[in-house]
Structure 1
Amino acid sequence: MDGSSGIGTGPTLLCGDCLTMLAGLPEASVDVVVTSPPYNLKLRYASYEDSREEAEYLDWMVQVAAALKRVMKPDASFFLNISGSPNHPWLPFELIVRLRSLFVLQNHITWIKSITTGQASVGHFKPVRGNRFLHHAHEHIFHLTRDGRVELDRMAIGVPYADKSNIARRGHPRDLRCRGNTWFIPYETVQSRAEKFHHPGTFPVELPRWCIRLHGRAAPVVLDPFVGTGTTVVAALQEGAHGIGIDIDPAYIAIASSRLAKQGTPVSPSAGATIE
C-alpha cells in the first residue's frame, strides 16, 4: 500500500459489503468508476439476493452512489451500466432521476449488444419470451460527473472517417472522429455458463476499457464496487490503470484473482482485506 494515499499501485480486491469497503477508501482518490450493479431483476447470483422491493433497492443504490461520490476526485467519471426488463421497464430511469441530487448526467451512452442491418445480425441478446415485448438488444451506460464539466479524450475511442476528404476539409488533426454515444460492443460467443464464470451479469472487457480510455487520464485509479468476476479490474490492468474491485462474494473474488493471475498479475484473495 502507498501510505500517503491509502491506495496501492497494483490490482486491489476487497471482499465484503460495498458500503463498508467504500467507507475505508480515501476521500477523492478515484479517477474512474465503472460498474454494473445488481439490476434487482431476480438474477441468480452466488450469494447476493437480487429481489429487494423497488423502493428499498432505489434507496440502497442512492446510498452506494453517495459513498462513491465521496471517493471520487473532483474531475472523476462514474460510468453506471444498468438495464431494465419487460417487468421492470422504469427501473433505470427511476434510478437515474434519484441520482440527480448527487451527480450531473454528462452523457447517456447506449450500449448495443446486438444489431440487425438488412438481413445481417451481429452480436448477442437474451431472448424475451412471449409476444408482447421485443428482445432487449441494448443497455444503458449513464456517465455521471460532479459538475458536468469533465473533459474527455473522445479520440481515445474515436473511429476513422469513411470519407477521408473530411480530414483536411474540416481541419481535423488526424483520421479520427468522435464515436458518439452509441457503442456496439458484442459479447464473445460462449457455449456454457462456465465460460461466463457462472455469473449472471458480466459485461465484455472492452466496455470498461472504452470507459477508461474515454476519461483520458494517465495511470488512473479505477473502481468497481460490484466487481463480480473481475472484468473491470482486468480492463484496468490492460489499460495501465490501478483497478480496485469490491464484491460481497468470496467465490467471485477468487475468480477475479484467477483472471488477474492469467494476465500475469497474481493476487491472493483475503476476505475484507486489501490485496496487492
Structure 2
Amino acid sequence: MPALHLHHGDCLQVLPTLPDGSVDLVVTSPPYNLGINYRSFDDTAGRAEFLAWCVDWATELKRVLADDGSFFLNVGAAPSNPLFPHQVLLALTDGLFVLQNTFHWVKSITVETRKGEQISAGHFKPINSKRFVNDCHEYVFHLTKTGDVPLDRRAAGVPYQDKSNIARWGHTGGEDKRCRGNTWFIPYDTIQSRDKERPHPATFPVALVEQCIRLHGKGPETRMLDPFLGIGTSAVAAKQAGVATFTGIEMDDHYLSVARERMGK
C-alpha cells in the first residue's frame, strides 16, 4: 500500500503546496474541453482560455516533477474536433515539456489471424454519422523535461511471438520479452452498472496506468501524482503496483469519496 495523500481542491491551489522535484511520475487525464458533463467542472470554456489553463497547471507539474520524471498525459478527442489533442500538446511543449513518446491507446480493434480469422475485441461508443467513423482510440503523450529520460521498455513489453528470435537477436539477452511499441490495446473492463461501478463520465482503465508505471521503471520507489484524480483509477493502479507514495488531487467531493472508498480510506 503506497503512502496515500488525497487532496480535495483545485489542482492550481494544491500543486503549489508540493515541493520542487518531489514527484517521479505523473499519469493523468484532464477535462477534454468537449462539453463533458462533469459534476464540478465547466467543460465548455473557450479553446484559448482552456489551453491557457492547461499551461498553468502544466507549469506547476514541471516544477514538482523530478528531472528524470515522466508525465503521461491521456487526451481524447471528438470526431468533430480532431485537432484538440494536438492543440493541447502544442501548448504544453511550447517551452514547457518535450514530447518523448506518443502512445495510441486502442480501446477496440479487429485483427485478422494467420489463419484468416477476424477477431474483434474491446469496447467503443458507436457513432451514428455519415461523416465520421467510430472513434476507437485515444492518445497518451509521454512528456519529459529533456526528452532523454531512460525507460524500462521490457517491463512494459510482451513475449516474442516467434521464439527463435530470442536466440537470433543478441539484444534480447535470452529473455522472452520485447518492447511492446507505441500501440497499446487496453480495453475497458466489462461492467454491469455505470452508475455504481464507473460513476464518472471520462475514465481510463487501471491497466493503462499500470503500463505507464512499468514503463517508467522506478518500481516500488516511484513517487506518483495524478492532479485530476476523478474516481481514483490511478490510485488503484499505484496500489496494485506497490509504488512508494501516491498523491491525488480532485475538486469534486463525490468523485473523491468514491476514490477513497476504492482505496479503503
TM-score by length of 2: 0.93
Aligned with 2:254 (options 251, 255, 259): 251
2:237 to 232, 235, 238: 235
- Note the 1:100-139 alignment, pairs <5 A: 100=93, 101-118=95-112, 119-139=118-138
Distance 2:32 2:223 in 1: 25
State how 1:174-189 maps to structure 2 within 5 Å. Answer: 174-189=175-190
Q: Secondary structure at the match of 1:222?
A: strand
Shift of 1:155: 0.5
Hey, what does 1:33 align to over in structure 2?
26
Contact 1:115 1:123 in 2 (8 A): yes
- Asked if the contact 1:197/1:255 (under 8 Å) is kept, the reply is no
SS of the residue corresponding to residue 155 of structure 2 reads helix
Q: Equivalents in 2 of 1:12, 1:191: separation in Å?
A: 30
Matching residue's letter, 1:186: P
Would the aligned equivalents of 1:196 and 1:202 in 2 still touch at CA under 8 Å? no
Displacement over 6 Å in runs of 4+: none
In structure 2, what is the equivalent of residue 90 of structure 1? 83
Matched AA of 1:142: F
Task: Name the CA distance, whole Å, in 1 between partners of 2:38 and 2:193.
Answer: 16
Provide the C-alpha distance between the structure 1 equivalents of 2:208 and 2:229, rounded to a whole number of angstroms: 13
Q: CA deviation at 1:120?
A: 2.3
Letter in 1 for 2:31: P
- Percent identity over the alignment is 53
1:200 is the counterpart of 2:205: no
Partner of 2:213: 212
Q: Which amino acid aligns with 1:63?
A: D
* Contact 1:123 1:187 (8 Å CA) reproduced: yes
TM-superposed deviation, 1:195 = 4.1
Cross-structure match for 2:169: 170
Aligned mates of 1:222, 1:90 — CA distance in 2: 29
TM-score computed with the length of structure 1 as normaliser: 0.90
8 Å contact kept, 1:106–1:148: yes
Task: State the partner residue of 1:43.
Answer: 36
* SS in structure 2 of the partner of residue 105 of structure 1: strand
Q: Give the letter aligned to residue 144 of structure 1.
A: L
Residue 151 of structure 2 corresponds to which residue in structure 1? 152
The answer for unaligned runs of 5 or more in structure 1 is 1-8, 262-266, 268-276
1:189 counterpart letter in structure 2: T
